[in-house]
Amino acid sequence: LDKGREAHRQGSRLSAGAAALEAMLEKHALTLATSGSAPGFVNALSPTAAELRDNGFLPSFVSTEMPFGGVMRFTIRVGANRGLFGLACGDTSVLTMGQPGSSVAGQIMHAANGRGLRTTAALPGILSGPSFQDTPSPFNGPAIVCAWAALPAQ
């Protein structure tokens, strides 16, 4: 396992997941912000990869399998003034040799094209990165990595 190559692969997949969420946010902003719903989604605030693919947001060639374990999951939050914030996250901590891989998690975060966020052992439920700090993570663990998508209030 080439950790650098696999970290880049995982970061690229998370970034593609965030891009899919961003396209969904742009298309369904009004219904997501007002009712938390969108046509073609059972629970639009927790869309599945299949729903994102079926609705044309996530390309079929983007794998949701995470090279360091787990799968990519998606969440959307409606914030103040109805701004929208989405996360594409690996659902388990990055592990290397059976232990949380904080340095690899950092590499994945940086490979996510400026959209990366990660938890740490000190703050296992809080995501931080270059663009956002102190964001609650949908998954708890010492090396969770996500990529974000945001649509400001309209």
- Alpha carbon distance 125, 67 (integer Å): 21
Contact 68, 132 (CB under 8 A): no
Q: What is the mean pLDDT of the chain?
A: 93
Residues 6+ apart with CB under 8 A from 51: 40, 41, 42
Q: Is the pLDDT of residue 122 over 70?
A: yes
56/36 Cα distance (integer angstroms)? 19
Confidence of residue 30 (pLDDT cuts 50, 70, 90): very high
Q: Is the pLDDT of residue 1 over 70?
A: no
Confidence of residue 97 (pLDDT cuts 50, 70, 90): confident
pLDDT of residue 71: 97
Q: Among 38-47, 76-85, 139-148, name the one with the lowest average pLDDT.
A: 76-85
At which residue do the structure tokens 């396209």 appear?
23
Average pLDDT over residues 101-130: 92
Which residues have a Cβ under 8 Å from the Cβ of 77 and sit 6 or more positions away? 45, 84, 85, 86, 87
* pLDDT for res 154: 61
Is the separation of the CB atoms in 145 and 108 below 8 Å?
yes
Q: Count the neighbouring beta carbons within 10 Å of the beta carbon of residue 6.
A: 19
What pLDDT is stored for residue 82 in this prediction?
82
Question: What percent of the chain clears pLDDT 90, i.e. is strictly above it?
Answer: 81
Report yes or no: 88 and 149 within 8 Å, Cβ to Cβ: yes
